[in-house]
């Protein structure tokens, strides 16, 4: 079994639906970073426009469930799309975090159930 196939059982489904796993790195002894780039799928909301890929937004860091005593963070880069005619930049808005947090939705729900509220960072 490939590592990406295994990770599909451990990580949120939308991660692999909309993002490609680029790299897995360790940060120190207790942090695991998974770099994810948005797939090259033009935003369906702007299908009437002639869009070309125009790099990525600044990455965001999303904390997910720990694995084997390591904190897990997704380093997510959303793709930017440029309208060839107007030069306007578009991105797709993904709903990956719990409102007002940098926690994945599943991890936030778990913490809220366990603690009664979400811890502040």
| Residue scoring higher pLDDT (45 or 80) | 80
Say what the pLDDT of residue 78 is. 93
Q: Are 118 and 108 in contact (CB under 8 A)?
A: yes
Say yes or no to pLDDT of 42 above 80: yes
Is pLDDT above 60 for 99?
Answer: yes
Confidence of residue 27 (pLDDT cuts 50, 70, 90): very high
What does the alpha-carbon distance between residue 61 and residue 72 come to, in Å, rounded to a whole number? 10
Tens-place pLDDT, residues 82-95: 999 999 998 888 77
Rounded to whole angstroms, the Cα distance separating 66 from 104 reads 11
| Average pLDDT of the residues of the chain | 85
According to the model, what pLDDT value does residue 118 have? Answer: 65
Confidence of residue 51 (pLDDT cuts 50, 70, 90): very high
């Amino acid at each position: 079994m490939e590592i990406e196939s295994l990770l599909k059982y451990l990580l949120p489904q939308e991660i692999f639906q909309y993002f490609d796993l680029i790299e897995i790195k360790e940060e120190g002894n207790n942090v695991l970073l998974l770099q994810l780039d948005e797939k090259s799928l033009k935003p369906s909301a702007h299908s009437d426009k002639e869009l070309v890929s125009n790099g990525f937004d600044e990455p965001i860091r999303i904390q997910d469930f720990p694995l084997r005593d390591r904190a897990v963070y997704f380093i997510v880069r959303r793709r930017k799309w440029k309208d060839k005619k107007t030069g306007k930049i578009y991105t797709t808005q993904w709903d990956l975090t719990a409102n007002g947090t940098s926690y994945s939705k599943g991890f936030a729900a778990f913490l809220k159930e366990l603690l009664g509220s979400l811890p502040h960072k």
